[in-house]
Structure 1
């Protein structure tokens, strides 16, 4: 059963999204060293990775993360 992901978790997955769940998790792991001084972001990444451990490839492939990226790209404040 797929766990419910929060909006920030979905946005993180969208930013790091690759073709598969495993590849996406690997991309997320790559950013952890850059977050060593940001405890909130580190917790977000680690918590999302933990939830993703229970996500099957089929469930991941059915997730539509595009709206999260679209929203981010439309929000010019973060640039």
Structure 2
């Protein structure tokens, strides 16, 4: 099965990326209690988690998330 992520899902994965697919799933799952009633964010999290479950570990390791990682803000 080919898993296709939306751009916002790539950003979410990049934000919480860990060393493995399972660790990334757990990291994203851990933020759910802090989302509150933000239905849009919960929908994004749920769709991303569902797709990550169908993704193979190998496919996860081959995701190119660099374009979706934010540059750290430099303080002057």
Same fold (TM over 0.5): yes
Superposition TM-score, scaled by structure 2 size: 0.89
Superposition TM-score, scaled by structure 1 size: 0.85
Separation (CA, whole Å) in 2 of partners of 1:31 and 1:43? 13
Structure 1, unpaired ranges of 5+: none
TM superposition outliers: structure 1 runs of 4+ over 4 Å = none
Structure 2, unpaired ranges of 5+: none
Q: Work out the number of aligned pairs and report it.
A: 73
Match of 2:33 in 1: 33
Q: Please tell me whether the aligned partners of residues 2 and 59 of structure 1 are also in contact (alpha carbons under 8 angstroms).
A: no
- Structure (1/2) with the larger helix percentage: 1
CA-based RMSD of the aligned residues comes to: 1.4
